[in-house]
């Protein structure tokens, strides 16, 4: 366990800083929940769903057949876009 030493800070300043951290973390949590509530799939999930390889998904992304999006270094696909491309007459 880490030891934290606080010097020359009033109790009010300390409380304000703690509140700032809590608010910042709660906003991050809300964003994470929003992303989790979206119907998004990973590359592996999409490849398994469509029974294609990840290389095929890469080629489709280059051809704009299925367009992924990134969060950090991770690649995701919107389930709606997959369903639209499958029934929308695009050659997948």
Enter the pTM of the model.
Answer: 0.54
Cα separation, 60 vs 57, in Å, equals 5
Q: Which pLDDT score, from 0 to 100, does residue 43 have?
A: 93
Q: What is the DSSP string of 42-87?
A: EHHHHHHHHT--HHHHHHHHHTTSS--EEETTEEEEEHHHHHHHHH
Q: What is the pLDDT of residues 38-53, one digit of tens each?
A: 688 999 989 998 899 9
The CATH fold of domain 39-92: Multidrug-efflux Transporter Regulator; Chain: A; Domain 2 (1.10.1660)
Query: By the 8 A CB rule, do 16 and 41 touch?
Result: no
35 confidence band (pLDDT: 50, 70, 90): low
């Amino acid at each position: 366990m880490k030891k934290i030493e606080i010097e020359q800070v009033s109790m009010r300043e300390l409380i304000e800083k703690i509140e700032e951290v809590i608010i910042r973390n709660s906003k991050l949590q809300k964003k994470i929940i929003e992303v989790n509530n979206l119907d998004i799939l990973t590359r592996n999930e999409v490849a398994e769903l469509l029974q294609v390889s990840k290389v095929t998904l890469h080629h489709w992304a280059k051809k704009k057949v299925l367009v992924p999006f990134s969060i950090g270094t991770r690649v995701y696909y919107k389930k709606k876009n997959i369903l639209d491309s499958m029934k929308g007459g695009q050659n997948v």
